[in-house]
Amino acid sequence: KAGVTQTPRYLIKTRGQQVTLSCSPISGHRSVSWYQQTPGQGLQFLFEYFSETQRNKGNFPGRFSGRQFSNSRSEMNVSTLELGDSALYLCASSLLAGGAYEQYFGPGTRLTVT
């Protein structure tokens, strides 16, 4: 069974630009969550989607948004990039929504904002 895939794996953007990251969950998984990981703040929850609906949202500004398609694939968008948005963005999928269900993480997208 194929794992969670994320594209692109690496990305360099400049301040003020916007970026879209993509996540393909494991086949059959309907829940997709997004996390931001930085050395200073650790792993922080961004949002979770289940059956195309946002179920939960972390404490991030409105510049961070996401969506989920009918095939469970998900995208997250960051507008007006800031230097502090440089991070590893991780996507995780699970069979059902809910924090305690086993989550399968992708390899991440390394975003660098210059």
Partner 1 sequence: LAKTTQPISMDSYEGQEVNITCSHNNIATNDYITWYQQFPSQGPRFIIQGYKTKVTNEVASLFIPADRKSSTLSLPRVSLSDTAVYYCLVGENSGYSTLTFGKGTMLLVSP
Is 35 a binding residue for partner 1 by CB under 8 A? The answer is yes
Q: What is the Cα–Cα distance from 39 to 16, expressed in whole angstroms?
A: 23
Is 56 a binding residue for partner 1 by CB under 8 A? The answer is yes
Find the farthest-apart pair of alpha carbons in the chain and give their distance in angstroms, rounded: 39
Which listed residue (16, 38, 99, 112) binds partner 1 by CB under 8 A?
Answer: 99
- Of the two residues 92 and 113, which places its CB atom closer to partner 1 in the complex? 92
Residue 10 bridge partners (DSSP): 110
Which listed residue (5, 58, 67, 73) binds partner 1 by CB under 8 A?
Answer: 58
**Helices and strands per DSSP (H, E), number in the chain:** 0, 11
Is 65 a binding residue for partner 1 by CB under 8 A? The answer is no
CB 103 within 8 A of CB 33: yes
Could you list the residues that contact partner 1 (CB under 8 A)? 4, 33, 35, 42-45, 48, 50, 55-56, 58, 88, 90-92, 96-108, 110
